Amino acid sequence: MNNIYQVENSYHLMEGLDSEFLVVASSKEEAKDVCLKLLAEDQDSHIEAIKENINNLQKSLNKNWIDDDDSAAALFMKRAQDRSRENIEHFTNLLNKFNGYKRECLTVHHISPRLKNGHIQYIEE
């Protein structure tokens, strides 16, 4: 018999990339297998999205946005450039450490759908 599982991926390459799934499967292990397959299919596009972010951040650092006449704007832009450098370092470290999505990063919860006030709610069991 198939059940509905909520599978959470705790390893995020980037915010918004496949962090939670609803899976119909016969067991928690099968639910993990399905999610690992989905994540593996999307892995290359996730890596490319991060590389594109790094490139865009590097391009913005190469531009001279600072106007010497406005010290407040110069300070703001310096802070923005510092954040960009930090983000580049963070994303680069994530890519360097990434060795594929792993089973141990997945948490599985058996859930049951319930209809309440015309809306489906998923209740963890």
Q: Tell me which residue of 41, 1, 52, 51 sits closest to 18, measured CA to CA.
A: 41
Q: Is 125 exposed, middle or buried (0-12, 13-18, 19+ CB in 10 A)?
A: exposed
pTM (predicted TM-score): 0.67
Give me the helix-helix angle, 71-97 and 28-62, nearest 10°. Answer: 140
* H helix or E strand, kind and range, residue 87: helix 71-97
Give dist(CA 66, CA 116) in Å, integer: 55
Is the confidence at residue 24, as pLDDT, over 80?
A: yes
Looking at per-residue pLDDT, the higher value among 50 and 115 belongs to 50
